[in-house]
Structure 1
Amino acid sequence: MPRHAVSDMHGEPVRTVKHCPPFVDAMSHGFVVPLPCDVTVRDGQMTWQWDLPGLAAHHHPKSPISFHHPAQVEGTPLWSADQVVVKFNSFWTIELPDGFSLFAMHPANRPDLPFRLLSGLVDADRFHDVGILFPAVWLDPDFSGVLAKGTPIAQCIPVRREALTLDYEPLTDAGAKQYDETAQKLLTETGVYRKDFRAARSAGGEDSAES
C-alpha cells in the first residue's frame, strides 16, 4: 500500500492509513485463525480439495466450513432472505491462562472479505478441549472465486475477565492546558502519536506505522 495518495480536494498528496498506528496495530493485535485450505465458491456452492490426514479424535470436523440453519438467526438483524450463515470449523484448540477469555471478531479493517464474522467471547481458560467454531454471515451472494488457504477468518484477542471501574470528572484547568498543547502539536507536526504516545510492540516494530 502506498504511503501517500493524491487528494483532489486538498490539491496535494495526503498520507494514507499506512501512516496510522491505531489502524495498523488493530490489524496485528492478538492472533488470527486462518482458513486451512482453498475453498472455491461458484454458482452458490462451496467446494474444496484437501488431502486431510487421518484425525485422532472421532468427532473432529473434517470440512473447513459448515452451515447454520437460517432459523437460528431469524428475527435478528443477522437474518436476510439472500444471505446464509456459515460456520468456519477450527482445526486448532486454544487454551488461555486462568482468568482470561478469548474475544473473537471479524479480522480488523477487512471489509473486503465476502463474509462478516459474528463476534463472540469464549472463556477459553476453561473451554479448550475442542476447537472454537466461528459463525459468519455470508454477505456476497454473487461472490465467485477462491478463498485462499491462509485467509484470516477470525481475529482473536485474549482479554482479562474482570470488571472495569470508570471514573467521570470535569476537565481541570491543567487538563485543558494539556489538551490544547497536544492538539496544537497534532495540527502542526507529524508522527506525534507514534513518537510521544505509542507503546513499544514486541512484534511488528516501532516503524510499522508512521504517524
Structure 2
Amino acid sequence: STASGNIIDESFFKPSLTARFLARFWMRVVWGYLLAPLCRLKPETVARLRDYPVEEGARHKEAALRVSGLLQALRAFSEGGLDVVNLPYSYAALPLRDASKIADHIRRRILKETGRSVAVVISDSDKTFSIGPIHLCSRPNPMKGLVGLGLLAYIIGASLRFKARATPVAASGWTGSMDELLDICEVADRVRGYGAGRNIWEAARRFGVGLTSISWELLGRIPHYPVVLVRRVR
C-alpha cells in the first residue's frame, strides 16, 4: 500500500464521539483491564493499552471507523488492516486494493521476464489463529479458506493459545493447502523482520521520539525487506 501511495494522514481526521469513546474508554479500560489480560498480552503491551494516547488514538480510531467500520475499530491493533508502523508522522497505510489482481500481475511479470513459474503470495503480519483445519482471521475480507470473525477471532485464538501465524492476503499460482500457505507466510514474516518495530510504541521508543514524530529520515536508517523468496526443500 505504501509503495502505491495508498496511504492517509490521520492528523486531518476530526474524531467523532465514538472515536473518542474508543480511545478513552474501550482501549484504556476494556482492552487494558479485561481483553488484554484475557488474550495473554505481554505486561508491557497491557501497560501501553492502559495509557492509550487519547488524541492521536482518537484520530486513528476515526480513520478505522471510516475505512472499515465499528467492528474493526474495536480491535486493539491493525484495525481494518490499517498499518501505522514503518510510516512517518501520522500516516497510515490503507488495506491493499485488489490484492489478488496485484499478485496475479506480479506472477505474470515474473514469468514473462524470467520464464519461471512461481506462486506469488501477499501476506500481512496480522495473525491468523488455527485449530486443526479451522483458521480464524480478524482481517476484513479474508481470502478463501480463512474464517473471518474480526475481533472475536483474535480473542478466541489468543486466549485459547491457538497456533498463530502471519495471514495470507492473496495468493496467485498457489496449489498447496491453506495450512502450508500459513506456514510459509509465518516463515517469510520472521525472515522479513519488523522494520522499525512490532508496533508504533516500539518504533517511537527505538528512535526516541513521540508517536507521531517519526520522520522519513529516521525510517530510512532501518533495513526494509518487502520481498522474501521461499523455496520448498524436498
Q: Which structure features the higher share of strand residues?
A: 1
TM-score tier (shorter): under 0.3
Higher helix share: 2
Name the TM-score, length of structure 2 as normaliser. Answer: 0.24
Q: Which protein has the larger Cα radius of gyration, Structure 1 or Structure 2? A: 1
Which protein has greater RCO, CA pairs closer than 8 Å, 6+ apart? 1
